[in-house]
Amino acid sequence: MLARARLLLYYPLGLAGLRRSDVLLASFPKSGNTWVRFFFCNLAGVLAGREGPVGFGELDRVMPELGVSNLLAPWSLAPVPRVVKTHKRRWSLFGARRSILLTRDPRDVMTSFYHFESGKRRPRIESSFSEFLRHPRFGLPAWFEHTASWLDSNNVWITYEALKEDAVATFSELTRYLELDVPEPAVREAVARSSFETVRGLEETKRHKPEKYKKGYRFTRSGKRGGWKELFSDEDLEYYRELKARYSIRAY
Please give the pLDDT value at position 193: 96
| Helix/strand number for the chain, H first, E second | 11, 4
Give residue 1's pLDDT.
Answer: 45
pLDDT at 212 over 70: no
What integer pLDDT is reported at residue 2 of this predicted model? 42
The residue ranking higher by pLDDT, 22 or 117, is 22
Q: 7 versus 46: which is more confidently predicted? A: 46
Ordered by start, the domain boundaries in the chain are 2-247
Residues sharing a CB contact under 8 Å with residue 31, sequence separation 6 or more, in sequence order: 102, 103, 104, 109, 160
* Whole-number pLDDT of residue 208: 53
What pLDDT digit, counting tens, does each position of 49-102 carry? 999 999 988 998 889 999 888 888 889 899 999 999 999 999 888 888 899 999
Third-level CATH fold of 2-247 = Rossmann fold (3.40.50)
* The predicted structure's pLDDT at residue 205: 61
> Which region, left, alpha or beta, applies to residue 225 given φ > 0 means left and ψ of -120 to 50 means alpha?
beta
pLDDT-based confidence at 221, cuts 50/70/90? low
pLDDT at 203: 66
